[in-house]
Chains A and B, each alone.
Chain A
Amino acid sequence: MVLLDVKNVSKRYKDTKALSNVNFSVKEGEFISIIGPSGAGKSTLLRCINRMIDANDGEIIFDGIDVLKLNKRDLRRLRTKIGMIFQHYNLVYRLSVIENVLHGRLGYKSKIDGIIGRYSEEEKEQALKILEDLGLGQQIYKRCDELSGGQKQRVGIARSLIQNPKMILCDEPIASLDPSSSKVIMDQLKDISVEKGITCLVNLHQVEVAIKYSDRIIGVNSGQVVFDGPSRELSSDTIYAIYGTEAGNLIVD
């Protein structure tokens, strides 16, 4: 079943075209990587889906809802169904791990409950369970600035999981991490997609990681989709086409 349908989406910044006529669709439970050179429009594409950035043209259908036509209130409701993970984790570092995780529930809260941070016992238990599953059971009351990079990213994952999302958007989740934490994070994302059936859309810089983990790869260059297919079909010629370089000029060789 198709969860997300991106049709002819374009985004312009004054003179430059960040995205032009992007088309692809995502089935429920798929693990998809988006690869491409820096500045190709990967982040813009991801942010257009939950309207952190407004696309200029086209249509984005998520779970049967036309995303670009939503008003503010419905947009917030939609965003509760889409988790997001960032390269720089984007946590509130002065708050504890559990508080940061519970922030994922704010989209479901009334004004007052959200302001004073009142969460139900079930929500707290769910947060605790997610943290234990991610291996952070010992850290729940630690302040987030005391954590390592990999642990911070796991808090980011926990914050998106507690939203009970249908899809998680990951913007370069391992770009600031060392190889071993990167593996932990990617394994956990893969587990989430396999076990909970949550669709993952991941921006990546590492081609080999993309091939290893994803069901499907979308290659983006200069704001256009230049490749869209299962990861086993990604030949080295297509990789060069995606990155726009001559053969032999990439570190993956």
Chain B
Amino acid sequence: MQINPFVKKRRQFIGLTIILTIFTFASIIITEYDVVKGFTSAPRAINWMIANLYPKEEALKNLPRILDKLGETVIISIGSTTVASIFALMFAILGSKTTKVNNVLSLFSRLTASIFRNIPIVAWAMVLLFSFGQSSFTGYLALFFVTFGFLTRAFMETIDEASFSCVEALRATGANYIHIIFQAVLPSSIPQIISWMLFMIETNIRSSTLIGILTGTGIGFSFNLYYKSMNYNAASLVVISIVCTVLLIELLSNYIRRVIL
């Protein structure tokens, strides 16, 4: 019996909707979530934020210290991204389908990257805290590991996408492996690679807030300090300065992307 493909599509859609609805209700019941209360308390939270989370004049006195910490955070995130990207590039070249040396090394590099990527950044921070204590270095390492894992994966895909065809052509001319990397793979994937690095710098500034809370360094620590001492005005100043920095970096990296692509 032939089923009309349109009927089949509609059935699939209806089926999917039913399954999603069941999942939603099941999770509401399991977590004992009060839907009505959830929605009604949202305005109260916003009210509280309006009443407390804004910078007062006296909070501005903290600005130099906040900016100092913010600068530290930006430097840590740029530093961890750039250094991690060097390692990520090496691993990506070994792991990519187009440029792998052999299957064993490729698997090894994929596995390594996957392990670093899939351990959450919070877990890295907590584990590293034991070995390196409360210092910027701990935050740096946590960002470094996760960035390394993520960028390896991103670079691998970039290499496969951007350079498969010219790698084939250069192999056919008799060029050796290292020539192909420098003359074909890097020139064709560098704009994408830089683009990923800029993306990771933005992401890292955002995550370093969380890392800072855990490791007691950088801007995250300032936020935590003000927040716990109920100095919400200063805490809000921290949040605003983070948002501004991230926006600034985003603008800057969008500009760089436009120029290089």
* A interface residues (Cβ-Cβ under 8 A, vs B): 50, 52, 76-80, 82-84, 86, 88-95, 103-104, 106-109, 111, 114-117, 156, 159-160, 163, 169
Report chain A residues within 8 Å CB of B207: none
With contact pairs A86-B168, A88-B165 given, residues A93 and B176 touching in the complex (Cβ less than 8 Å): no
What's the minimum C-beta distance from B10 to chain A, rounded to whole angstroms?
36
Q: Quick check: is B131 within 8 A (CB to CB) of the other chain?
A: no
Is the beta-carbon distance between A114 and B174 smaller than 8 angstroms? no
What's the minimum C-beta distance from A1 to chain B, rounded to whole angstroms?
23
Q: Which residue of A lies closest to B176 (CB)?
A: A76
Q: Which residue of B lies closest to A75 (CB)?
A: B174
Question: Which among A79, A80, A106, A156 is the interface contact of B183 at CB below 8 angstroms?
Answer: A106
With contact pairs A106-B179, A109-B179, A114-B182 given, residues A84 and B188 touching in the complex (Cβ less than 8 Å): no
Most buried by A among B163, B171, B173, B178: B173
Is the beta-carbon distance between B165 and A90 smaller than 8 angstroms? yes
Query: For residues 99 through 141 of chain B, which have their beta carbon under 8 Å from a beta carbon of chain A?
Result: none
Is the beta-carbon distance between B191 and A114 smaller than 8 angstroms? no
Q: Quick check: is B166 within 8 A (CB to CB) of the other chain?
A: yes
Q: Which residue of A lies closest to B182 (CB)?
A: A115
With contact pairs A80-B174, A106-B174 given, residues A114 and B183 touching in the complex (Cβ less than 8 Å): yes
Is the beta-carbon distance between B165 and A111 smaller than 8 angstroms? no
Question: Which among A50, A93, A107 is the interface contact of B175 at CB below 8 angstroms?
Answer: A107
With contact pairs A80-B173, A84-B172 given, residues A111 and B183 touching in the complex (Cβ less than 8 Å): no
> With A and B bound together, what is the CA distance between A58 and B178 in angstroms?
31
Report chain B residues within 8 Å CB of A84: 169, 172-173
Q: Which residue of B lies closest to A114 (CB)?
A: B179
Ranked nearest first, the 10 interchain pairs of A and B with the lowest CB-CB distance are A107-B174, A106-B175, A79-B174, A114-B179, A90-B169, A80-B174, A84-B172, A90-B165, A76-B174, A115-B182
With contact pairs A92-B187, A94-B191 given, residues A115 and B173 touching in the complex (Cβ less than 8 Å): no
Other CB < 8 Å A-B pairs besides A92-B188, A103-B175, 15 of them?
A: A83-B173, A84-B169, A89-B165, A90-B169, A91-B166, A92-B163, A94-B191, A103-B173, A106-B173, A106-B180, A107-B174, A111-B176, A115-B178, A115-B182, A159-B169
Report chain B residues within 8 Å CB of A78: 174
Cβ contacts A to B, 5 pairs, < 8 Å: A79-B171, A79-B174, A90-B166, A109-B175, A163-B174
With contact pairs A80-B173, A90-B168, A92-B166 given, residues A103 and B183 touching in the complex (Cβ less than 8 Å): yes
Is the beta-carbon distance between B173 and A117 smaller than 8 angstroms? no
> With A and B bound together, what is the CA distance between A91 and B191 in angstroms?
16
Report chain A residues within 8 Å CB of B143: none
Question: Which among A89, A95, A169 is the interface contact of B187 at CB below 8 angstroms?
Answer: A95
Report chain A residues within 8 Å CB of B184: 92, 103
> Which secondary structure characterizes the binding site on chain B?
helix
What's the minimum C-beta distance from B59 to chain A, rounded to whole angstroms?
49
Is the beta-carbon distance between A50 and B182 smaller than 8 angstroms? no
Q: Quick check: is B170 within 8 A (CB to CB) of the other chain?
A: yes
Report chain A residues within 8 Å CB of B183: 92, 103, 106, 114-115, 117
Is the beta-carbon distance between A52 and B179 smaller than 8 angstroms? no
> With A and B bound together, what is the CA distance between A90 and B188 in angstroms?
11
Is the beta-carbon distance between B191 and A159 smaller than 8 angstroms? no
With contact pairs A94-B191, A114-B183, A115-B179 given, residues A104 and B173 touching in the complex (Cβ less than 8 Å): yes
Report chain B residues within 8 Å CB of A82: 172
What's the minimum C-beta distance from A104 to chain B, rounded to whole angstroms?
5
Report chain B residues within 8 Å CB of A115: 178-179, 182-183
> With A and B bound together, what is the CA distance between A107 and B170 in angstroms?
9
> With A and B bound together, what is the CA distance between A27 and B250 in angstroms?
61
Is the beta-carbon distance between B170 and A106 smaller than 8 angstroms? yes
Report chain B residues within 8 Å CB of A106: 170, 173-176, 179-180, 183
What's the minimum C-beta distance from A119 to chain B, rounded to whole angstroms?
11
Query: For residues 137 through 191 of chain B, which have their beta carbon under 8 Å from a beta carbon of chain A?
Result: 163, 165-166, 168-176, 178-180, 182-184, 187-188, 190-191
> With A and B bound together, what is the CA distance between A18 and B245 in angstroms?
58
Report chain A residues within 8 Å CB of B170: 103, 106
Report chain B residues within 8 Å CB of A80: 173-174
Report chain B residues within 8 Å CB of A160: 173
With contact pairs A93-B188, A114-B182 given, residues A52 and B174 touching in the complex (Cβ less than 8 Å): no
